[in-house]
Amino acid sequence: MMKTLVVFLSLTILSFGGAHAATMSFKNNCPYTVWPGTLTSDQKPQLSTTGFELASQASFSLDTPVPWNGRFWARTGCSTDASGKFVCATADCASGQVTCNGAGAIPPATLAEFNIPAGGGQDFYDVSLVDGFNLPMSVTPQPQGGTGDCKTATCPANVNAVCPSELQKKGSDGSVVACLSACAQFGDPKYCCTPPQETKEKCPPTNYSQIFHDKCPDAYSYAYDDNQGLFTCSGGPNYLMTFCPS
Ligand SMILES: *[C@@H]1O[C@H](CO)[C@@H](O)[C@H](O)[C@H]1NC(C)=O
């Protein structure tokens, strides 16, 4: 009798947990290999993988628990150096391994950010260039389960091609591999929206954030991007992250 009850309760908990997972799929449309990284926020346990290789045209998927706060990005130009350390030209997490193990991307990095509440409430997600840009990326809610706006958050353009020289991050061959945010490069409150310009009213767009915004109007170009880059979807959708979406 007791055993039956225990089994019943575990099954109930398991199916409840299962119904509240979000499946995150990744597709690499870039003509080169990327190495996505995953980071769970709030000191919560990390996902089943914190970093993996994704060849051109390859796909991968993993589940997040719900609620979940965290981010995804993709490293480029990675290789194992002479000392056996895994290093990347952009968005490295400095773990020395393909997995990031709780470390985040070193800017500049295009980020996909998620805030998924418990119980199928309203998800918030965005593509952020607040920490700079390294490759084009989109986040698309998948049809099953999603209700409400559920639009694609995206930075489909190659911002590296229009990156002003003072923000360029160059690779070993001299090509522009990423574009720093003006905040990261200059540390000025007017670019970082830090005191004395810490409010939205006191931190309007700048000539630099405008470059990101013009290329990618459906992404966050700086900290107070008038919520243009913030998207919502309700009802527990799954999501597709595409690298080089167009
Ligand atoms: C942006 O404005 C600053 C002055 O506020 C100027 O020094 C800089 O050259 C400008 N950069 C671009 C890319 O327009």
Is the pLDDT confidence value at 15 over 80?
no
pLDDT at 180 over 90: yes
Percent of the chain with pLDDT over 90: 83
pLDDT of residue 128: 96
CATH number corresponding to 21-243: 2.60.110.10
Whole-number pLDDT of residue 227 = 64
Residue 219 CA to ligand 1 centre (angstroms): 22
Does 184 score more than 50 pLDDT?
Answer: yes
More confidently predicted of 1 and 39? 39
CA of 170 to the centre of ligand 1 (A): 20
Backbone angles phi, psi at 79, to 5 degrees: -160, 170
Rounded distance between C-alpha atoms, residue 35 and residue 60, angstroms: 11
**Confidence band (pLDDT; 50, 70, 90) for 18?**
very low
Alpha-carbon distance 195 to 186, whole Å?
Answer: 15
Q: Is the distance from the beta carbon of residue 207 to the nearest atom of ligand 1 less than 6 Å?
A: yes
**Atom in ligand 1 nearest the alpha carbon of residue 190:** 5
| pTM for the predicted model, two decimal places | 0.90
Q: Is the CB of 188 under 6 A from ligand 1?
A: no
**Is residue 165 within 6 Å of ligand 1 at its C-beta?**
no
pLDDT at 1 over 70: no
Where do the domains of the chain lie? 21-243
Q: For residue range 119-178, list pLDDT tens digits in order.
A: 878 999 999 999 999 999 999 999 776 788 899 999 999 999 999 999 999 999 999 999
Q: Could you give the CA distance from residue 28 to residue 35 in angstroms, rounded to a whole number?
A: 10
Q: Whose CA is nearest to atom 5 of ligand 1?
A: 207
Ligand 1 pocket check for 166: Cβ under 6 Å? no
13 pLDDT exceeds 50?
Answer: no
Residue 114 in tokens: 């998620």
Quote the pLDDT of residue 145. 66
Write the pLDDT tens digit of every residue in 61-110. 999 999 999 999 999 999 999 999 999 999 999 999 999 999 999 999 99
Closest-CA residue, ligand 1 atom 4, reads 207
Between CA 22 and CA 234 the distance in angstroms is 12
